[in-house]
Structure 1
Amino acid sequence: MDIAEMNWIQVEERAAKDDRCILPIGSVEQHAYLSLCTDMILAQKISIDAAAPLGIPVFPVMPYGLASSFAAYPGTMTLKLSTYIGVIGDLLDSMYRSGFRRILVVNGHGGNTPATAVISEWLNEHPDARVKMHDWWRAPLTWKKVMDTDPAASHASWMENFPWTRLADVAQPAESKPRIDFARLARVDAATKREMLGEGNYHGLFQRPDADMQAIWDVAVAETRALLEADWD
């Protein structure tokens, strides 16, 4: 349930009966010809779709993350690590004060991995709480479905090209992009990364049929929902 459709009284009542909630986290950064908000769009939608039949509240997506690698691309928004650590901790504190004790963090951006360290420290201070960190796109079943569909899958490639991340009237290239040099990419600054990447796709096709994408999405939704229903201890 989208928490935008709830008031504080309903949240209090819900947490008293069921202390599960979801916090999606994403990023605003270059995604080649796709929306700059791809990571936040996907994290929010996967959370809403997974929680819908369970009535579990889904908080608004945390839109900004750690995207310094793409800082040379206009429109990319990135937080400093110190800022990010504080924001994630503050959001966990707020959900805890609201009565939630089982929190699923649905992550849509690989750069947000440091959140796991924040969660670990936070749990030491809140031993009665449970937090699951879920990188939805690389969860085992979802990633297997991606690889079975096309192993040339990467940032800003076809694997992030869904009808809801695509931009109207923006054509997608038909060719498959060669794999970039990941080792070099990891050791250079943002401006050099832009020179290496060009439009931003790491490698692979820019788009696949919508039927392929819906099949992947169905697996991802089911895998995310299973985490909500599984044991939290």
Structure 2
Amino acid sequence: MKIAEMNWIQVEERAAEDDRCILPIGSVEQHAYLSLATDMILAEKVSVDAAEPLGIPVFPAMPYGLASSFASFPGTLTLSLATYIGVVKDLLDSMYRSGFRRILVVNGHGGNTPATVAISEWLNAHPDASVKFHDWWRAPKTLAKVQEIDPAASHASWMENFPWTRTTDQRQPTTSKPRIDFAAMARVGSAKKRELLGDGNYHGLYQRPDEDMLAIWDVAVLETRGLLEKDWH
């Protein structure tokens, strides 16, 4: 159930009946030939699909995250760490005031991991609340399915190439990209990172059959739904 399709009265009634909700968080950053909003799109869609049969409200995805590594790629937008931590805490405060006490944060971007520190600090001040942080794409069952299909899976590679993350740009290499030098990437700024990355794919194929992608998606949705259904306290 999308919050965008509810009014405030419905939200108040829902929170009084069931205090669970979902906040998807993503990033607007380069994804080679895929949408700049890939992380946001996937985090929100897996949240909506997982919550649908349970009637749990899903807030609109927080689109912007920590993407300083890709700052030199046009279209990439990034927040500073201090701003980001503040935004995460402000959103948690707002959901708490709305009556939600069990919050699932569904993350679509590896760079957003510092949000877990903000969540930990926030929980210390809200002992009656419970927050789960879920990296949907590398959760155990989902990652195992990805590895089963093709272990050469990475940022901006085939593993993020779903029908809903593609653009109108039909260019899509058919070769497999060699693995980048991660150590070299870690010690340079975004301009040099862009030189090292080229189109932005870290390694692997750019696209696999939709049959493979939908099989991964089914696992991801069920795994995310499982987090909504149990082990809150």
TM-score normalised by the chain length of structure 2: 0.99
Which residue pairs with 2:136 in the alignment?
A: 136
Which residue pairs with 1:230 in the alignment?
A: 230
Give 3-state SS (helix, strand or coil) of 1:176's partner: coil
Give 3-state SS (helix, strand or coil) of 2:60's partner: coil
Cα distance in 2 for residues equivalent to 1:169 and 1:91? 35
TM-score normalised by the chain length of structure 1: 0.99
Q: CA deviation at 1:231?
A: 1.8
Which residue pairs with 1:18 in the alignment?
A: 18
Give 3-state SS (helix, strand or coil) of 2:21's partner: strand
Which residue pairs with 2:50 in the alignment?
A: 50
Q: Which whole-Å deviations, capped at 9, do the CAs of 1:144-184 have from their partners, x for residues lacking one? A: 00000100000000000000001124221000000000011
1:1-233 → structure 2 map (5 Å cutoff): 1-233=1-233
Cα distance in 2 for residues equivalent to 1:110 and 1:3? 25
Cα distance in 1 for residues equivalent to 2:231 and 2:40? 27
Q: Which whole-Å deviations, capped at 9, do the CAs of 1:74-111 have from their partners, x for residues lacking one? A: 00000000000000000000000000000000000000
Cα distance in 2 for residues equivalent to 1:77 and 1:200? 15
Where do 5+ consecutive residues of structure 2 fail to align?
A: none
Q: Is contact 2:28–2:36 with CA below 8 Å preserved after alignment? A: yes
Give 3-state SS (helix, strand or coil) of 2:141's partner: helix
Where do 5+ consecutive residues of structure 1 fail to align?
A: none
Deviates more, 1:33-42 or 1:164-173: 164-173
Q: Is contact 2:36–2:76 with CA below 8 Å preserved after alignment? A: yes
Give 3-state SS (helix, strand or coil) of 2:184's partner: helix
RMSD: 0.5
Cα distance in 1 for residues equivalent to 2:169 and 2:79? 31
Aligned residues: 233
Q: Is contact 2:33–2:169 with CA below 8 Å preserved after alignment? A: no
**Percent of aligned positions with the same letter in both sequences?**
80
